């Protein structure tokens, strides 16, 4: 079984990637015995994905993956974007972030938004590649559903009436931003294997 080492402490991301890629052994930082809170001080999702992948590569000298995701809201000029994790403050949780976003959009008609995931892979030799996956949608008027994590209860993907929070996890994992970025990573691996 091919192993993928991912520089993340987010257990939800690991669960989703395991669901998307059952044929791979997915290892997060904790699974690798690495206790680290990597400083994500980049200005873009691309910067932060690469910071995480490079950090893990430095420690292991193995192929390493970093993943950074943001929710980009049109009416807020792309915010929270790269600040999605700490949108409501340094010690905030998902609930605080959802509340802040709903407050910011009170009375706002255009609720267009997108989730964007960037995956950086640093190869054993230090070369790297970046892949992106996006899903367009709308921010709901209120929280709906308890599946998924983060902003899922307030995001309605285009073509659906439900939020990601109301959607079965398998369904989200078939068409999410993360699934699309992972798909591109898999295409890259296929090219490498040729
Ligand atoms: P790592 O850096 O350890 O990977 P993190 O939780 O800090 O974990 P990100 O910076 O990539 O991860 O995530 C930004 C925030 O966006 C995160 O706190 C989540 O709450 C939210 N988020 C990420 N993916 C999401 C998804 O698929 N659905 C809803 N919210 C998501």
Q: Which atom of ligand 1 is nearest to the CA of 177?
A: 27
Domains (ranges, CATH) in the chain? 2-193 (3.90.950.10)
Tell me, rounded to whole angstroms, the distance of Cα 134 from its chain centroid: 10
pLDDT tens by residue, 36-81 = 999 999 999 999 999 999 999 999 999 999 999 999 999 999 999 9
From 37, 47, 68, 125, active-site residue = 68
The pLDDT of residue 1:
86
The yes-or-no answer on residue 68 being catalytic is: yes
CA-to-CA dists, residue 126 to 50, 60, 61, 121, 190, angstroms: 11, 11, 8, 9, 19
The pLDDT of residue 194:
78
Q: Is the pTM of this model over 0.95?
A: yes
- pLDDT band at 13; cut points 50, 70, 90: very high
Q: Do you know the residue count of the chain?
A: 194
pLDDT tens by residue, 81-101 = 999 999 999 999 999 999 999
Q: Is the pLDDT of residue 192 over 90?
A: no
Mean pLDDT estimate for the chain: 97
Q: Is the pLDDT of residue 104 over 90?
A: yes
The pLDDT of residue 18:
97
pLDDT tens by residue, 132-172 = 999 999 999 999 999 999 999 999 999 999 999 999 999 99
The pLDDT of residue 193:
84
18 in Cβ contact with 26 (< 8 Å): yes
Ligand 1 pocket test, candidate residues 85, 115, 173, most atoms within 8 A of CB: 85
Q: How far is the CA of 1 from the centre of ligand 1 (A)?
A: 27
- Give the residue among 49, 57, 187, 193 at the shortest CA–CA distance from 125: 57
Average pLDDT for 165-183: 98
Does the beta carbon of 67 lie inside 6 Å of ligand 1?
Answer: yes
The pLDDT of residue 96:
98
């Amino acid at each position: 079984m091919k192993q993928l080492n991912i520089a993340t402490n987010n257990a939800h991301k690991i669960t989703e990637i395991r669901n998307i890629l059952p044929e791979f052994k997915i290892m997060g930082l904790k699974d690798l015995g690495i206790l680290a809170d990597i400083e994500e001080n980049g200005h873009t999702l691309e910067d932060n994905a690469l910071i995480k992948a490079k950090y893990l590569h430095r420690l292991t000298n193995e192929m390493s993956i970093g993943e950074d995701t943001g929710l980009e809201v049109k009416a807020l000029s792309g915010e929270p974007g790269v600040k999605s994790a700490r949108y409501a403050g340094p010690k905030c949780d998902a609930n605080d972030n959802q509340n802040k976003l709903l407050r910011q959009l009170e009375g706002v008609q255009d609720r267009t938004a997108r989730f964007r995931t960037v995956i950086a892979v640093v190869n054993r030799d230090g070369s790297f590649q970046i892949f992106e996956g996006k899903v367009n949608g709308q921010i709901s008027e209120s929280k709906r559903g308890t599946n998924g994590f983060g902003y899922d209860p307030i995001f309605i993907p285009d073509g659906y009436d439900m939020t990601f929070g109301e959607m079965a996890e398998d369904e989200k994992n078939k068409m999410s931003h993360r699934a699309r970025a992972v798909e591109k990573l898999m295409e890259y691996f296929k090219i490498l294997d040729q």
